[in-house]
Structure 1
């Protein structure tokens, strides 16, 4: 029998061995296979073999130790689950014999999830469902899910957009409270637009360029030639003059973040009475807007900008096809429909856009244009074919104007050290070496 001194020494030895093994905390990153990785805050990455990966889900924060395999390679061994990010997800319901499972619609959640009898909610084989994790796989590797709702069958009309809305938690219809609040705003629009001092720019020949059927027009353009280049003006619809902070509409807009566009429908950020009516920059309607004035040099450099609250009145609602035909010199009924005072504005806008693009390409790292695609639907609302979508001169014109104003507003916010920003997680640790090499190559660093 060991005496107390020996037991104490043995305990101390075990503690020393325990402390000598490297331990870390990190986030689990899944792959297309059964294995995965765990990334630490100091950009270290450790391998998770399939058995360890079965115990966790992508995004989990874990505590782990590092051990060497027989081949002398380092791998992570999970010690504790700290937190889990995976909760709700969507997928297809699968019945195999007596087993009921969900195949997740997720690029790295690539295992079937068992659904216990009491948590199936009447789902049938082939149904597309929304569900949540009811039993985390840690520590035994047996994950379970509960069906929250049956979204529909893959043959249903609009099932693709319904599935995406559920997958990304995109709200559909507005609440009755929001709709009523939007209707109430319509009666106070005149008062709301005059409460704040706004520069009257309604005499300017503003124009909008969008899809022919669009009614949610949120930006308008104007440009004139100057002795040193161009004076470009971009107006952005300003609902903040009437939508009050912490109102129901404000909270819902914050939750939605943006309007979401699908192949067969659109989910607006604001109720249609506002987004397609009271705040849309429709022709011959006075609207509140934030206007960015940009001075552009002959070389296409933005030399000065200022931002102001204004009232504007669009003089023309134009389509991309219509503007492209005009710029290409095509003779057509669409071109004939453009009012004569608007045509010189379009020509000057195009000259300015070409200069802006030239300056960007000469002085910045600009990605090459990539082909975009458009899906067309058949009578059943299913994808019939996918065709290349060519960006015409009108698309490029609008793009350059919006990039210019976005850069200017970004500089404005940086100067104020305040504002809303999109935060990106950054370059994945396994791609940072390639990123450094690209930067060195492009900037000719040694």
Structure 2
């Protein structure tokens, strides 16, 4: 059988090599996405999914290697879905993510940034302080598996260690498997949520059946042996409650601003604590807050940006779509002595209108940190204010994004409807060895 061979020209958003099957006349034909292949490489491939205009494949033979290729550090990389880019040199990973951001800004938003910022780096191994680990009893193997899903599969990868988790958690994976396997409800634990603070490691067991007294004894003994705190979650995230020990509290620090942030293991916090400090520092530096400024922090969560901003501005207004979150953010502000300079409102920012923005009053500067869906309605409302009440527009916006495509979409609205120039943009390597692109852009009122 003739081998399928292809030259790889680029990487897609899922870190797959992209090439084209040549037509009979030598012109580029159908596009092929090849897992494990890198730009500049010539590879043999095997197709596992075929459509009219594209194919998905896996690399079978490496005929010509890229200078960017490295040996993956993790022994489970070939089949574990937790990482997709360990075979690519870390600085090259960031360069490709920067290219993804620039391509999205142009191809989706039809905009360019005046300046591309240097990428923000952090540790590339042991950085993941949050993770959702899948759990499954596998009858054929006679064991419980704990880890990430396999690539292209709903099955749990059989991993014994993980290089992107902190070492003390990686070393705990096999003992965790043994613990779950020893419980009466070993088939009723579908996931474990991991959250690490400055001095506490919390594990949230999602349990579908009640524990027996013997189960509780085993879990407590494990907590004592490995120095972790267990939480139990019986239904949705709101049901998560501490189980043992009860005298511990998760928190992280933003020492540059003297801020201590308590959080629960099911709260949204950044995966990479080191990069979060860099992210907050950079965002506030770019926002260039003055002591007399009134600042908006939209999609504020627990106050990750709000509280540091409050150390610099006259007033900061944090807005989030959850009453629970805004109450928790206010509690954090009080704990840090910043409640006198912060106000929190619960608003659905996906439905915010120009009138809603006017009712909040004029802001000198604005920070936007939305989820993957972006902030389309908010940006469109700012566009309306450009026509009706331009004096209410903040003179500078810093937009922190976890999706370059929605950032590009929103950047187009801010540039073409709200009258902002994109002065700077760049990537933040929050998730090394994955295709996830975190980025930041600065918009100045033209």
TM-score over 0.5 for the alignment?
A: no
Of structures 1 and 2, the one scoring higher in RCO (CA 8 A, sep 6+) is 2
In our comparison, the structure showing a higher alpha carbon Rg is: 1
Q: TM-score, normalised by structure 1?
A: 0.28
Q: TM-score, normalised by structure 2?
A: 0.28
More helix by percentage: 1
